Amino acid sequence: MLSIEADKNIIALNTLGFNAIAEQFTRIASEDDLLKALQYAQLHQLDYQVLSGGSNVLVDEHIPGLTLHMQVMGRAVLKECDQQVLIRIGAGENWHELVQWSVVNNWQGIETMALIPGLVGASPVQNIGAYGTELKDVLVQVRAWDCLAKEFVELDNSECQFAYRDSVFKRSKGRFIITSVDLKLHKRLAIEFKYQALKDYMHKQSLANITLKDVFQAVCEIRSDKLPDPVKVANAGSFFKNPIISHSQFQQLQGDFPKIVGHPSACSGVKVAAGWLIDHCGWKGYLASGVGVYPKQALVLIHTGESSIGQLMQLADDIKQSVFDKFKVQLEIEPQRFPSVN
Ligand SMILES: Cc1cc2nc3c(=O)[nH]c(=O)nc-3n(C[C@H](O)[C@H](O)[C@H](O)COP(=O)(O)OP(=O)(O)OC[C@H]3O[C@@H](n4cnc5c(N)ncnc54)[C@H](O)[C@@H]3O)c2cc1C
Protein backbone atom coordinates (compact mmCIF):
# COMPACT_ATOMS: atom_id res chain seq x y z
CA MET A 1 0.00 0.00 0.00
CA LEU A 2 1.22 3.44 -0.92
CA SER A 3 1.85 5.56 2.17
CA ILE A 4 1.57 9.31 1.60
CA GLU A 5 2.71 11.91 4.13
CA ALA A 6 1.27 15.42 3.86
CA ASP A 7 3.26 18.61 4.50
CA LYS A 8 6.50 16.80 5.27
CA ASN A 9 9.47 18.94 6.23
CA ILE A 10 12.45 17.56 4.28
CA ILE A 11 15.08 19.54 6.21
CA ALA A 12 16.84 16.24 7.03
CA LEU A 13 16.67 15.13 3.39
CA ASN A 14 18.67 18.00 1.86
CA THR A 15 22.32 18.37 2.90
CA LEU A 16 22.09 22.18 2.75
CA GLY A 17 19.68 21.85 5.68
CA PHE A 18 16.99 24.23 4.47
CA ASN A 19 13.45 23.99 5.77
CA ALA A 20 11.28 22.80 2.89
CA ILE A 21 7.72 21.52 3.04
CA ALA A 22 6.80 18.78 0.56
CA GLU A 23 3.07 19.00 -0.03
CA GLN A 24 2.88 15.21 -0.41
CA PHE A 25 5.72 12.74 0.12
CA THR A 26 6.12 9.01 -0.41
CA ARG A 27 8.92 6.43 -0.25
CA ILE A 28 9.51 4.32 -3.35
CA ALA A 29 10.88 0.90 -2.36
CA SER A 30 10.20 -0.95 -5.63
CA GLU A 31 9.25 -0.44 -9.26
CA ASP A 32 5.74 -1.46 -8.29
CA ASP A 33 5.63 1.36 -5.68
CA LEU A 34 6.76 3.75 -8.38
CA LEU A 35 3.94 2.74 -10.73
CA LYS A 36 1.39 3.10 -7.92
CA ALA A 37 2.75 6.53 -6.98
CA LEU A 38 2.60 7.71 -10.58
CA GLN A 39 -0.99 6.44 -10.89
CA TYR A 40 -1.84 8.33 -7.68
CA ALA A 41 -0.24 11.51 -9.06
CA GLN A 42 -2.19 11.15 -12.31
CA LEU A 43 -5.47 10.49 -10.50
CA HIS A 44 -5.04 13.57 -8.29
CA GLN A 45 -3.47 15.67 -11.10
CA LEU A 46 -0.28 16.26 -9.13
CA ASP A 47 3.15 17.21 -10.41
CA TYR A 48 5.86 14.92 -9.07
CA GLN A 49 9.61 15.08 -8.54
CA VAL A 50 12.32 12.63 -7.52
CA LEU A 51 14.48 13.04 -4.43
CA SER A 52 17.33 10.72 -3.46
CA GLY A 53 19.97 11.75 -0.89
CA GLY A 54 19.32 15.49 -1.34
CA SER A 55 23.05 16.29 -1.61
CA ASN A 56 22.81 18.06 -4.96
CA VAL A 57 19.57 20.01 -4.69
CA LEU A 58 18.52 23.56 -3.89
CA VAL A 59 15.12 23.07 -2.31
CA ASP A 60 12.32 25.60 -2.52
CA GLU A 61 10.51 26.39 0.74
CA HIS A 62 7.29 24.94 -0.63
CA ILE A 63 7.42 21.85 -2.85
CA PRO A 64 4.06 21.35 -4.54
CA GLY A 65 2.78 17.98 -5.74
CA LEU A 66 4.19 14.58 -4.87
CA THR A 67 7.82 14.07 -3.85
CA LEU A 68 9.09 10.56 -4.62
CA HIS A 69 11.89 9.52 -2.25
CA MET A 70 13.82 6.75 -4.00
CA GLN A 71 14.53 3.76 -1.73
CA VAL A 72 14.75 0.86 -4.22
CA MET A 73 17.41 -1.39 -2.67
CA GLY A 74 19.45 -4.35 -3.91
CA ARG A 75 22.93 -5.34 -5.02
CA ALA A 76 23.43 -8.29 -7.35
CA VAL A 77 26.26 -9.81 -9.36
CA LEU A 78 24.87 -10.39 -12.86
CA LYS A 79 27.97 -11.83 -14.51
CA GLU A 80 31.50 -12.59 -13.46
CA CYS A 81 34.67 -13.82 -15.13
CA ASP A 82 38.41 -13.71 -14.30
CA GLN A 83 38.77 -10.13 -15.47
CA GLN A 84 35.47 -8.40 -14.78
CA VAL A 85 32.27 -8.35 -12.81
CA LEU A 86 28.91 -6.90 -13.85
CA ILE A 87 26.78 -5.67 -10.95
CA ARG A 88 23.23 -4.30 -10.69
CA ILE A 89 22.54 -1.79 -7.94
CA GLY A 90 19.16 -0.47 -6.79
CA ALA A 91 18.66 3.29 -7.06
CA GLY A 92 18.14 3.65 -3.31
CA GLU A 93 21.49 2.14 -2.29
CA ASN A 94 23.99 4.51 -0.67
CA TRP A 95 26.79 5.39 -3.11
CA HIS A 96 29.65 5.37 -0.58
CA GLU A 97 28.55 1.99 0.81
CA LEU A 98 28.61 0.64 -2.75
CA VAL A 99 32.19 1.88 -3.13
CA GLN A 100 33.12 0.18 0.17
CA TRP A 101 31.55 -3.08 -1.07
CA SER A 102 33.50 -2.91 -4.33
CA VAL A 103 36.77 -2.36 -2.46
CA VAL A 104 36.11 -5.24 -0.04
CA ASN A 105 35.55 -7.48 -3.09
CA ASN A 106 38.65 -6.10 -4.81
CA TRP A 107 36.65 -4.83 -7.78
CA GLN A 108 38.31 -1.83 -9.36
CA GLY A 109 36.71 1.21 -10.98
CA ILE A 110 34.91 3.38 -8.43
CA GLU A 111 37.35 3.51 -5.48
CA THR A 112 38.37 7.13 -6.20
CA MET A 113 34.70 8.14 -5.91
CA ALA A 114 34.55 7.22 -2.21
CA LEU A 115 32.69 9.57 0.13
CA ILE A 116 30.57 11.19 -2.59
CA PRO A 117 27.28 11.65 -0.71
CA GLY A 118 23.96 10.51 -2.12
CA LEU A 119 22.30 7.46 -3.60
CA VAL A 120 23.14 5.29 -6.60
CA GLY A 121 20.08 6.34 -8.65
CA ALA A 122 21.27 9.94 -8.72
CA SER A 123 24.83 9.07 -9.76
CA PRO A 124 24.13 9.04 -13.54
CA VAL A 125 22.17 12.32 -13.36
CA GLN A 126 25.26 14.48 -13.14
CA ASN A 127 27.75 11.72 -14.12
CA ILE A 128 29.45 11.94 -10.73
CA GLY A 129 33.19 12.08 -10.72
CA ALA A 130 36.25 12.56 -8.54
CA TYR A 131 40.02 12.24 -8.86
CA GLY A 132 40.03 11.55 -12.59
CA THR A 133 37.22 8.97 -12.69
CA GLU A 134 33.63 9.53 -13.75
CA LEU A 135 30.63 7.24 -13.54
CA LYS A 136 30.58 7.02 -17.35
CA ASP A 137 33.88 5.06 -17.17
CA VAL A 138 32.16 2.08 -15.51
CA LEU A 139 28.45 2.39 -16.31
CA VAL A 140 26.95 -0.23 -18.64
CA GLN A 141 23.25 0.60 -18.47
CA VAL A 142 20.57 2.40 -16.52
CA ARG A 143 17.03 1.14 -15.99
CA ALA A 144 14.46 3.88 -15.68
CA TRP A 145 10.79 4.68 -15.99
CA ASP A 146 10.36 6.85 -19.08
CA CYS A 147 7.61 9.32 -18.16
CA LEU A 148 7.10 10.23 -21.84
CA ALA A 149 6.89 6.73 -23.31
CA LYS A 150 5.21 5.48 -20.12
CA GLU A 151 7.30 2.31 -19.91
CA PHE A 152 10.46 1.00 -18.28
CA VAL A 153 13.48 1.45 -20.54
CA GLU A 154 17.13 0.42 -20.49
CA LEU A 155 19.60 3.08 -21.63
CA ASP A 156 23.12 1.98 -22.48
CA ASN A 157 26.19 4.12 -21.81
CA SER A 158 26.02 6.08 -25.08
CA GLU A 159 22.26 6.70 -24.72
CA CYS A 160 22.95 8.35 -21.36
CA GLN A 161 24.86 11.08 -23.29
CA PHE A 162 27.32 11.64 -20.50
CA ALA A 163 29.45 14.77 -20.33
CA TYR A 164 31.19 16.69 -17.53
CA ARG A 165 28.61 16.77 -14.68
CA ASP A 166 25.91 16.24 -17.27
CA SER A 167 23.73 13.56 -18.88
CA VAL A 168 20.47 13.00 -20.74
CA PHE A 169 18.80 12.68 -17.30
CA LYS A 170 19.83 16.20 -16.34
CA ARG A 171 18.99 17.70 -19.72
CA SER A 172 15.56 16.12 -20.15
CA LYS A 173 14.46 17.21 -16.69
CA GLY A 174 12.00 14.81 -15.06
CA ARG A 175 11.62 12.48 -18.06
CA PHE A 176 13.44 9.47 -16.56
CA ILE A 177 13.12 8.00 -13.07
CA ILE A 178 16.09 5.72 -12.50
CA THR A 179 15.42 2.48 -10.62
CA SER A 180 18.74 0.62 -11.06
CA VAL A 181 22.22 1.01 -12.48
CA ASP A 182 24.54 -1.67 -13.96
CA LEU A 183 28.30 -1.20 -13.56
CA LYS A 184 31.23 -3.14 -14.97
CA LEU A 185 34.19 -3.31 -12.56
CA HIS A 186 37.60 -4.86 -13.09
CA LYS A 187 39.44 -7.54 -11.18
CA ARG A 188 42.93 -7.40 -12.59
CA LEU A 189 43.85 -3.93 -13.71
CA ALA A 190 47.07 -2.23 -12.61
CA ILE A 191 46.37 0.73 -10.35
CA GLU A 192 47.00 4.00 -12.18
CA PHE A 193 46.40 7.54 -10.97
CA LYS A 194 44.79 9.97 -13.39
CA TYR A 195 44.85 12.78 -10.84
CA GLN A 196 48.17 14.29 -9.81
CA ALA A 197 47.20 15.28 -6.23
CA LEU A 198 46.17 11.68 -5.48
CA LYS A 199 49.35 10.33 -7.12
CA ASP A 200 51.49 12.68 -4.98
CA TYR A 201 49.59 11.71 -1.84
CA MET A 202 50.10 7.98 -2.52
CA HIS A 203 53.76 8.58 -3.31
CA LYS A 204 54.26 10.19 0.12
CA GLN A 205 52.81 7.09 1.80
CA SER A 206 55.78 5.05 0.37
CA LEU A 207 53.72 1.86 0.15
CA ALA A 208 55.38 -1.15 -1.46
CA ASN A 209 52.23 -2.55 -3.11
CA ILE A 210 49.33 -0.17 -3.47
CA THR A 211 45.95 -1.88 -3.03
CA LEU A 212 42.43 -0.65 -3.80
CA LYS A 213 41.93 -0.30 -0.05
CA ASP A 214 44.94 2.06 0.12
CA VAL A 215 43.47 4.20 -2.68
CA PHE A 216 40.06 4.20 -1.00
CA GLN A 217 41.56 5.26 2.34
CA ALA A 218 43.69 7.97 0.72
CA VAL A 219 40.64 9.44 -1.05
CA CYS A 220 38.66 9.39 2.21
CA GLU A 221 41.50 11.16 4.06
CA ILE A 222 42.06 13.82 1.38
CA ARG A 223 38.34 14.53 1.06
CA SER A 224 37.72 14.63 4.82
CA ASP A 225 40.50 17.17 5.17
CA LYS A 226 39.30 19.38 2.31
CA LEU A 227 35.50 19.11 2.25
CA PRO A 228 32.99 19.69 5.05
CA ASP A 229 30.96 16.71 6.27
CA PRO A 230 27.34 17.71 5.52
CA VAL A 231 26.30 16.19 8.87
CA LYS A 232 28.41 18.83 10.64
CA VAL A 233 28.36 21.75 8.18
CA ALA A 234 25.39 21.98 5.82
CA ASN A 235 26.56 22.14 2.18
CA ALA A 236 25.96 20.68 -1.30
CA GLY A 237 29.58 19.98 -2.27
CA SER A 238 30.90 21.98 -5.21
CA PHE A 239 28.41 24.78 -5.72
CA PHE A 240 29.78 25.74 -9.14
CA LYS A 241 31.01 23.66 -12.07
CA ASN A 242 34.58 24.22 -13.18
CA PRO A 243 34.06 26.45 -16.25
CA ILE A 244 35.49 25.36 -19.61
CA ILE A 245 36.98 28.26 -21.57
CA SER A 246 38.88 28.53 -24.86
CA HIS A 247 42.67 28.07 -25.01
CA SER A 248 43.06 31.67 -26.16
CA GLN A 249 41.04 33.08 -23.24
CA PHE A 250 43.05 30.92 -20.85
CA GLN A 251 46.35 32.18 -22.29
CA GLN A 252 45.11 35.75 -21.96
CA LEU A 253 44.16 35.15 -18.30
CA GLN A 254 47.53 33.50 -17.67
CA GLY A 255 49.16 36.74 -18.82
CA ASP A 256 47.34 38.68 -16.07
CA PHE A 257 47.17 35.89 -13.46
CA PRO A 258 50.18 33.57 -13.95
CA LYS A 259 49.10 31.21 -11.14
CA ILE A 260 45.58 30.57 -12.50
CA VAL A 261 44.77 26.84 -12.31
CA GLY A 262 43.46 25.11 -15.44
CA HIS A 263 43.67 21.67 -17.09
CA PRO A 264 43.00 20.65 -20.70
CA SER A 265 39.39 19.51 -20.94
CA ALA A 266 38.32 16.28 -22.70
CA CYS A 267 35.85 18.28 -24.81
CA SER A 268 38.43 20.85 -26.03
CA GLY A 269 39.22 24.07 -24.21
CA VAL A 270 40.59 24.46 -20.70
CA LYS A 271 38.75 23.50 -17.51
CA VAL A 272 39.50 26.25 -15.00
CA ALA A 273 39.42 25.63 -11.24
CA ALA A 274 36.33 27.59 -10.16
CA GLY A 275 37.56 27.44 -6.55
CA TRP A 276 40.72 29.33 -7.55
CA LEU A 277 38.68 32.07 -9.28
CA ILE A 278 36.35 32.48 -6.28
CA ASP A 279 39.26 32.45 -3.84
CA HIS A 280 41.01 35.18 -5.85
CA CYS A 281 37.92 37.36 -5.61
CA GLY A 282 38.40 37.21 -1.83
CA TRP A 283 35.38 35.05 -0.93
CA LYS A 284 37.05 32.19 0.96
CA GLY A 285 35.85 32.18 4.60
CA TYR A 286 33.12 34.79 3.95
CA LEU A 287 30.09 34.38 6.24
CA ALA A 288 27.04 36.61 6.65
CA SER A 289 23.39 35.98 7.60
CA GLY A 290 23.92 32.25 7.97
CA VAL A 291 25.38 31.57 4.53
CA GLY A 292 29.00 31.66 3.43
CA VAL A 293 32.00 30.14 1.70
CA TYR A 294 33.85 27.22 3.32
CA PRO A 295 37.22 28.47 4.64
CA LYS A 296 39.17 25.44 3.29
CA GLN A 297 37.54 25.23 -0.17
CA ALA A 298 36.05 28.27 -1.91
CA LEU A 299 33.98 26.09 -4.25
CA VAL A 300 31.76 24.99 -1.37
CA LEU A 301 28.98 27.26 -0.10
CA ILE A 302 27.74 26.55 3.42
CA HIS A 303 24.61 27.18 5.48
CA THR A 304 25.09 27.62 9.21
CA GLY A 305 21.33 27.60 9.95
CA GLU A 306 18.41 30.00 10.20
CA SER A 307 18.94 31.31 6.71
CA SER A 308 16.90 30.90 3.54
CA ILE A 309 17.54 29.47 0.10
CA GLY A 310 16.98 33.03 -1.22
CA GLN A 311 19.93 34.32 0.81
CA LEU A 312 22.14 31.50 -0.46
CA MET A 313 21.16 32.22 -4.07
CA GLN A 314 21.92 35.92 -3.51
CA LEU A 315 25.40 34.99 -2.28
CA ALA A 316 25.85 32.70 -5.33
CA ASP A 317 24.82 35.59 -7.63
CA ASP A 318 27.27 37.96 -5.92
CA ILE A 319 30.09 35.43 -6.32
CA LYS A 320 29.23 34.85 -9.99
CA GLN A 321 29.19 38.58 -10.65
CA SER A 322 32.53 39.25 -8.98
CA VAL A 323 34.20 36.35 -10.84
CA PHE A 324 32.80 37.69 -14.11
CA ASP A 325 33.91 41.25 -13.35
CA LYS A 326 37.46 40.13 -12.54
CA PHE A 327 38.08 37.26 -15.02
CA LYS A 328 35.25 37.58 -17.60
CA VAL A 329 34.41 33.94 -16.85
CA GLN A 330 30.80 32.86 -16.33
CA LEU A 331 30.22 30.38 -13.47
CA GLU A 332 27.40 27.85 -13.64
CA ILE A 333 25.66 26.49 -10.54
CA GLU A 334 26.01 22.71 -10.14
CA PRO A 335 23.16 21.63 -7.78
CA GLN A 336 19.68 21.32 -9.24
CA ARG A 337 16.70 23.50 -8.27
CA PHE A 338 14.08 21.33 -6.54
CA PRO A 339 11.46 21.18 -7.88
CA SER A 340 13.18 21.82 -11.19
CA VAL A 341 12.58 25.05 -13.07
CA ASN A 342 12.48 24.97 -16.86
C1 LIG B 1 30.17 17.21 0.64
C2 LIG B 1 29.76 16.88 -0.78
C3 LIG B 1 30.72 16.42 -1.67
C4 LIG B 1 30.36 16.11 -3.00
N5 LIG B 1 31.34 15.66 -3.84
C6 LIG B 1 31.02 15.35 -5.12
C7 LIG B 1 32.03 14.87 -6.01
O8 LIG B 1 33.20 14.71 -5.65
N9 LIG B 1 31.68 14.60 -7.29
C10 LIG B 1 30.38 14.74 -7.73
O11 LIG B 1 30.15 14.46 -8.90
N12 LIG B 1 29.41 15.18 -6.91
C13 LIG B 1 29.69 15.49 -5.61
N14 LIG B 1 28.71 15.95 -4.77
C15 LIG B 1 27.33 16.14 -5.29
C16 LIG B 1 26.37 14.95 -4.98
O17 LIG B 1 26.83 14.18 -3.92
C18 LIG B 1 26.16 14.05 -6.20
O19 LIG B 1 25.67 14.78 -7.27
C20 LIG B 1 25.17 12.90 -5.90
O21 LIG B 1 25.14 11.99 -6.97
C22 LIG B 1 23.76 13.39 -5.61
O23 LIG B 1 23.05 12.27 -5.11
P24 LIG B 1 21.75 12.44 -4.26
O25 LIG B 1 21.25 11.06 -4.01
O26 LIG B 1 22.00 13.26 -3.07
O27 LIG B 1 20.81 13.19 -5.30
P28 LIG B 1 19.71 14.32 -5.03
O29 LIG B 1 20.40 15.53 -4.51
O30 LIG B 1 18.59 13.78 -4.24
O31 LIG B 1 19.21 14.60 -6.51
C32 LIG B 1 20.01 15.26 -7.45
C33 LIG B 1 19.23 15.40 -8.77
O34 LIG B 1 19.04 14.12 -9.36
C35 LIG B 1 17.65 13.83 -9.51
N36 LIG B 1 17.49 12.42 -9.14
C37 LIG B 1 17.84 11.86 -7.96
N38 LIG B 1 17.60 10.55 -7.98
C39 LIG B 1 17.07 10.25 -9.18
C40 LIG B 1 16.58 9.06 -9.79
N41 LIG B 1 16.57 7.87 -9.15
N42 LIG B 1 16.09 9.14 -11.06
C43 LIG B 1 16.08 10.33 -11.72
N44 LIG B 1 16.51 11.49 -11.20
C45 LIG B 1 17.01 11.46 -9.93
C46 LIG B 1 16.92 14.75 -8.55
O47 LIG B 1 15.60 15.02 -8.98
C48 LIG B 1 17.83 15.98 -8.59
O49 LIG B 1 17.53 16.76 -9.72
C50 LIG B 1 29.02 16.27 -3.44
C51 LIG B 1 28.05 16.73 -2.52
C52 LIG B 1 28.41 17.02 -1.20
C53 LIG B 1 27.37 17.50 -0.24
For 274-316, the pLDDT digits (tens) are 999 999 999 999 999 999 999 999 999 999 988 999 999 999 9
**Domains in the chain: how many in total?**
3
Are residues 89 and 55 located together in one domain of the fold?
no
User: What's the domain range around 116?
Assistant: 75-186
CA of 277 to the centre of ligand 1 (A): 24
Q: Say if ligand 1 is within 6 A of residue 112 CB.
A: no
Q: Is the CB of 262 within 6 Å of ligand 1?
A: no
Nearest to 238 by CA among 274, 195, 187, 288: 274
* CATH at 323: 3.90.78.10
Residue 325, in any domain of the structure: yes
Q: Do 142 and 105 share a domain, yes or no?
A: yes
3 state SS of 282: coil
Looking at the fold, whether 57 and 137 belong to one and the same domain comes out as no
Query: CATH number for the domain including 164?
Result: 3.30.465.10
**Strand bridging mode 300-303 / 291-293:** antiparallel
Which is catalytic among the residues 165, 167, 180, 307? 165
pLDDT-derived band of residue 268, with 50, 70 and 90 as boundaries?
confident
The share of the chain scoring above pLDDT 70, in percent, equals: 100
The rounded distance, in Å, linking the Cα atoms of 170 and 152 is 18
The answer to whether residues 31 and 13 belong to one domain is yes
Q: Would 194 be classed as within a structural domain?
A: no
Annotated active-site residue 334? The verdict is yes
pLDDT in tens, 42-90: 999 999 999 999 999 999 999 999 999 999 999 999 999 999 999 999 9
- Mean pLDDT, to the nearest integer, of 248-269? 91
DSSP string, 35-102: HHHHHHHHHTT--EEEESS-SSEEE-SEEEEEEEEE----EEEEEE-SSEEEEEEETTSBHHHHHHHH
Do 84 and 182 belong to one domain? yes
Question: Is residue 241 pLDDT above 80, yes or no?
Answer: yes
pLDDT higher than 80, residue 208: no
- What CATH number is given to the structural domain containing 21? 3.30.43.10
Domain presence at residue 322: yes
- For residue 246, give the amino acid letter: S
Does residue 223 lie within any of the structural domains? no
Please, which pLDDT band fits residue 342 given cuts at 50, 70 and 90? low
Specify the residue with its C-alpha closest to ligand 1, atom 1: 237
Residue 26 has pLDDT above 80, yes or no: yes
pTM, two decimals, is 0.95
